Amino acid sequence: MAVAELLESFKADFESAVVILTEEYGQPTRSGCDSEDDAIPLSGLCEFAVWDSPGGSFFLAIAYEDRGAPMLLMVGVTE
């Protein structure tokens, strides 16, 4: 599978997860594409969304730092 096709597959999974998380936690407090966010400990962000919850903030992100690195779809807590 080519990188572009793989990224499109990851974006579809990302969008599905955003819908589910939004139903549970409301709209993300911030989101972006092809940018950096100091609270997300990943390089090469392709797309991300951040939610605030009573226990703290968390994110969902697609990251692809370099052609030789794996592509990630990750959920984590913000720093």
pLDDT tens readout for residues 39-56: 898 888 899 999 998 889
Q: What is the mean pLDDT of residues 62-73?
A: 84
Where along the chain do its domains lie? 3-77
Q: Burial of 23 by CB count in 10 Å (0-12 exposed, 13-18 middle, 19+ buried)? A: exposed
Q: What pLDDT sits at residue 3?
A: 79
CA distance 23 to 28: 11
CA distance 47 to 72: 11
Nearest to 75 by CA among 59, 57, 53: 59
CA distance 60 to 62: 7
Reported confidence tier of residue 1, pLDDT bands at 50, 70, 90: low
The model's pTM is 0.87
- List pLDDT tens digits, range 10-31: 999 999 999 999 999 999 999 9
